[in-house]
Structure formats: structure tokens, C-alpha cells
Structure 1
Amino acid sequence: MDKIKETLTFTGPIPPNGRHRAEELCRRQATQKKAEQVYLNTLSVSFVNSYLQYMGFETDLDKSDSWNPVQQTLMDVADLSLKNLGSLECRPVVEDAQFIYVPPEVQSNRIGYVAVQIKKSFREATLLGFVRQVQTDLLAINQLQPLDNLLEYLEELTQVRQAELASQSLTDNKTLVKLKQWLSNIFEAGWQEIETIFDNQRTNPDWNLRSANGSFVSRGKLIDLGKAGTIQSVILVVGFIQEKEQEIDIIVEVHPKSGEIYLPPNLQLMVLDFEGVEGESIMKAQTRSTNKNIQLQFSGDVGERFSIKLVLGNISVIESFLI
């Protein structure tokens, strides 16, 4: 991050592809006022995207609402998604303006706000500075921090996020459940036979896969989702069958612990894509007031990884698996 030293502002050309995108989105709008808003928003995002990429940060325009035609039409949005960091709002201002307009819908869920002065030619722009948070619709330009502060701030966020991912990766490696080993009767600590974990007080879960050809294997684990001073446990049950050489069918269920009839309300069960850095949910189920169990069913290839996430209030537990 030493390409520009002691930078208060930065002026440069707006990338041609950004101008083309702005013109494309502009033509979709129903009114002239909305078209001008979308045009300036898109130019701003494109300019900040180009600058931050040059400074070494990973951006993702496709995940930005501002690059989505529908979202641009519905909202006044100029966000730029930064990989693993969050969204940076890139607010446009015209030359000689003293204030930056920050619409209410973008005053939260942002890692910061950058002021982008669009020149009258619409081919050049200046980054005037940034702030981390806003509490008002109008932000005075003289309240902006220098551009260097933005780069230092993003670098700090990057280092924190990398440390979190490294820690998460280490945890996942330590607790990785290898399903193929279950076929050889090798089970990780905590995963018990179904009859044992239910204390023989109820029948096995009603697995849809039992009628299929092949060896069906299942195990359960007691998961603690208790808050401070309370005990709130559920039973996570995983079963699978391998009918094809490179693919297995998997069922995940959550049951109340022995002695309980219903699961706690608003308990979420999610399957996470292990390959996605952000751990994106690809399947989800949630309890209501009287659920006796919840279930998700999916297939996976041998060698793939996935995670199961249970969420209750502000408590979450993740179990990671290797097929």
C-alpha cells in the first residue's frame, strides 16, 4: 500500500467500461431524474473499483447492489463489494458541492463511505476522502478524512479478516468429520449411535434413504446452544448412503434432546458451502413453535466438503464434514 504517499485526494480517469455500464443502466430508468442518479452512482462505483484494485484490494462488482439493474432502479445505491470485507458506499458529488447526500437506505451495513467528485466531462473523477460511519443524510465535505486513512483502514480490516479465516480454517481442520470413515466404523469423538444418544426412549429418525440400496450409516451428536447460565441442547443427526462410487446422499436432522418434545422456536439449520470463503448458506430450515424435528437432504461428491450450522439467537455452532 505504498504506491501513493500522504494522499489527501486522488484524481484520475473513469474507466471506459464503467461509463458504458452507467449509460446502459441509465437507459433503463423511467424518469430523467432517476437516470441521472443511476448514472452518477455507477460512475462513482466504477472509479472507486478501479482505484482500489490498483491499490491491491480485491473487489466484486457482481455482488454489489449498484451493479444490479433491479436494485439500482429500486434504491439510491452506490455500493462496492470488497471481498471478505463488506460493502463500501461510493457517494457521488458534483463539482463545487459542499455536502454529500447519503440516503437513509445506505446509512447502515457499510464498512465506510467514500466521496467521489464527478467532473463535468463525466470522464474524470476525484476521491475526496472518506468516513467510517454516517448519522445524517447530509455529510459536510470538510468532515472527510484523507484518502490515506481509507487505505490504512481497509488494510486493517483485511488483516483482521485474514486472521479470522485462518483461525476458522484451523478449527475446521481439527474438527473435520470424515464421512467415508464411518463406512469402516471409524467415528469422531462425540458422534454416537442413534439408540444411545436418544437413550433408547424413542425410535430412530424416519430416514427416507433406508429403502435405498447400499449401506446406510448414521450417527448423532449432542449440540449445546445454551446462552449464559442456561442449557439449551439439541441432537444433530447425520445419515448417508453411498449408491454411486463418487456420490453419496445425505440427510441432516435436528431433534430435541431426550425428555423434550419440541425443538426451540426460531432454531435455524443450514448447509454451508465449504468452498465459499464467506461460508454461504446453500440450504436452510427453521423451526416454528411446535417442530419435533427439522431436516435437510442433499447429495455430494466424494472429496467435497460442507458444513452444518445451527443458529439459535446469537449462538451458533458449526460442524464441518469431508465426504
Structure 2
Amino acid sequence: MNSTTSPLLIVPIDLEIHSRARHLAAQQSTVEKGKRVYLNALAVYAVHSYLKWLQIPTDFNSSDCWNPVKAALSNAADLVIPNVGTLECSPVLPQETVILLPDTIENRIGYVAIQFQESLDSVQLLGFTPAVDEVNPPAQLTVSELQPIESLLQQITRLEVAIAFLQTDDSVAVQVRSVLDNKPLSEIVAQFELLYRTGDEFEWRYAGGEILAGDTRAVGATREAIQQDDSELQDLAEMLLEKLAEIWGDVT
């Protein structure tokens, strides 16, 4: 399916959310900042409503955009999907074709664009694009780059099935959990999914090993020990990506 054949999804915005968003905006230091915070809050609500309709839980009220202090310091419009990751919900003003993204965001699993009209009774979900660079996220996207909004559900499913695999007794999953210690599985899955989707296959082993390495290298370890650890982590990363490639190949 492509975006030219997928109808735009209309999401109504109820009066209670408008009231909450206006209250939040009134606490900002400038009118411009208040407008930005207001639209961010409505955008997050729209995506939350869509996912609720799909019976996908969100941690709606924990979004930074609902916190007056955090909203003042950042242009982020974040929506947490528990145990999966965080979406950026980007407002798009009438007639705009470029989606500006905040420069302080990180660890997003993707971006949803929300089109506003002169009337704020409802908004349109324009589409979705998965993350393309975790370290240096893009400054902007164009509407033409968006995938149909239905691809958001596919992305969430991809991450969920990978997380479920890492919770099994499969030998690779067990080894990965032992390496990660207490690091959330959702974080490692998001990084591996990004590598799988955007990296060349010959990069999997080295880049995957770097992901697993994280902060696991012991302080004061010898160069030989680090090289040995890296080799073992690269082997594990390669096996994990082979497993995930098989799993994701079954997700439509």
C-alpha cells in the first residue's frame, strides 16, 4: 500500500483536551511558545486516541508535553507505548508540506505527522515514518516521505514480536539478556530493528556488536580482553539478527 491510496484518518479532539492544552499553554513564557505547546499536546492526544482505538495501550499522561516545565524547555511531542518505545507526534500546520522536528529528541521509534486545519475540532493523521538515525535524528521530514498511517501498527508489531522473542528460553535470547543485564529489552530491540532496516547486511556483525557492548566493557580491561569480548559480542549480534530477520520476515 502507498500513501496515495490510503485515506487520511480523521481524529476528533474533545473539549476536555482543548481545555487541558490551553491551561498548559497559558503557563508558557511567550505566546509563540504557548501555541507550540498547545499544538503538541493536541497532536499527542490524536495519536493516543488512534492507538486506543486499535487497543494499543499508551502512557499518555507521562508525555513530557503535558509537563509545564519540560514543555517549556523542549519542543518534543512524545507518546510512550509501554514496553515498546516512544513516538514523536509532529504537528503540521495548514498547507505545510515540511515537518519540522525538535533538535533535542532521541530514542524515538518513529514519527507520526498530524495535520491541523483552521478548525481544531479534529485533525488528520497524515502518516508515519520509522526512525532513520538514532544518534543524529533528522531536522525535518516532508509529507511525501511519509508511509501510510497503517505502517505504524506494523512497526509496533515488529518491535513487540522481537521483544517477546528476547523473553523466551531460546539460547540466543538467554545470552542477550545476560549481556544486557537490566537494560530494557525495548531499547536494544529498537536499535537492532533500526540496524536491520537501514544498515547493510555486512554491517550487522560489527554494528550489532557495538550495540550489545554499550557500557559492558570493564574499566581497566586489557586490549586483548576487550578484543575477545568484542568478538564474542559480534558473534552474538550476528546470531540475534539472523533470528530477528526470520521473525520479522513473518510480520506483514
TM-score bucket (shorter structure): 0.5 to 0.7
State the partner residue of 2:86: 87
Query: Are 2:242 and 1:314 equivalent residues in the alignment?
Result: no
Deviation string 1:253-301 (CA, Å, 9 cap, x unpaired) is xxxxxxxxxxxxxxxx98x9xxx998xxxxxxxxxxxxxxxxxxxxxxx
State the partner residue of 2:129: 131
8 A Cα contact 2:163 2:185, kept in partner:
no
Residue identity in the other structure for 2:82: K
- Quick check: which one's helix share is greater? 2
- 1:8 Cα deviation (Å)? 4.4
Q: How far apart, CA to CA, are the structure 2 residues paired with 1:136 and 1:40?
A: 20
- 1:16 Cα deviation (Å)? 3.2
Higher relative contact order (CA 8 A, sep 6+): 2
State the partner residue of 2:195: none
State the partner residue of 1:76: 75
State the partner residue of 2:156: 154
CA radius of gyration, larger in? 1
Query: Are 2:109 and 1:111 equivalent residues in the alignment?
Result: yes
- 1:133 Cα deviation (Å)? 2.4
Matches within 5 A, 1:251-266: none
| Structure 1 gap segments, 5+ residues each | 1-5, 173-223, 226-268, 279-310, 317-323
Residue identity in the other structure for 1:40: L
TM-score of the pair, normalised by structure 1: 0.49
Deviation string 1:223-244 (CA, Å, 9 cap, x unpaired) is x99xxxxxxxxxxxxxxxxxxx
Q: How far apart, CA to CA, are the structure 2 residues paired with 1:57 and 1:167?
A: 26
State the partner residue of 1:294: none
Matches within 5 A, 1:117-266: 117-133=115-131, 135-167=137-169
Shift of the 21–162 alpha-carbon distance from structure 1 to 2, 3 Å rule, reads farther
State the partner residue of 1:57: 56
8 A Cα contact 1:114 1:128, kept in partner:
yes
State the partner residue of 2:33: 34
8 A Cα contact 2:28 2:68, kept in partner:
no
Residue identity in the other structure for 1:314: T
**Residue-pair matches, total:** 178
Q: How far apart, CA to CA, are the structure 1 residues paired with 2:214 and 2:128?
A: 36
- 1:119 Cα deviation (Å)? 2.0
- 1:140 Cα deviation (Å)? 1.0
| Structure 2 gap segments, 5+ residues each | 187-212, 219-252
Shift of the 9–31 alpha-carbon distance from structure 1 to 2, 3 Å rule, reads same
What SS does structure 2 have at the residue aligned with 1:91?
Answer: strand
Q: How far apart, CA to CA, are the structure 2 residues paired with 1:65 and 1:19?
A: 17
Q: How far apart, CA to CA, are the structure 1 residues paired with 2:167 and 2:62?
A: 20
State the partner residue of 1:188: none
- 1:161 Cα deviation (Å)? 2.0
Residue identity in the other structure for 1:32: V
Q: How far apart, CA to CA, are the structure 1 residues paired with 2:6 and 2:214?
A: 46
8 A Cα contact 2:65 2:77, kept in partner:
yes
What SS does structure 1 have at the residue aligned with 2:127?
Answer: strand
Q: How far apart, CA to CA, are the structure 2 residues paired with 1:118 and 1:71?
A: 23
Residue identity in the other structure for 2:104: E
Q: How far apart, CA to CA, are the structure 2 residues paired with 1:312 and 1:157?
A: 20
- 1:312 Cα deviation (Å)? 8.7
- Quick check: which one's strand share is greater? 1
TM-score of the pair, normalised by structure 2: 0.62
Q: How far apart, CA to CA, are the structure 2 residues paired with 1:35 and 1:109?
A: 25
Q: How far apart, CA to CA, are the structure 1 residues paired with 2:169 and 2:10?
A: 39
Q: CA RMSD in A?
A: 3.0
Shift of the 62–35 alpha-carbon distance from structure 1 to 2, 3 Å rule, reads same
Shift of the 55–30 alpha-carbon distance from structure 1 to 2, 3 Å rule, reads same
Deviation string 1:35-66 (CA, Å, 9 cap, x unpaired) is 00000000000010011111121100233212
8 A Cα contact 1:116 1:126, kept in partner:
yes
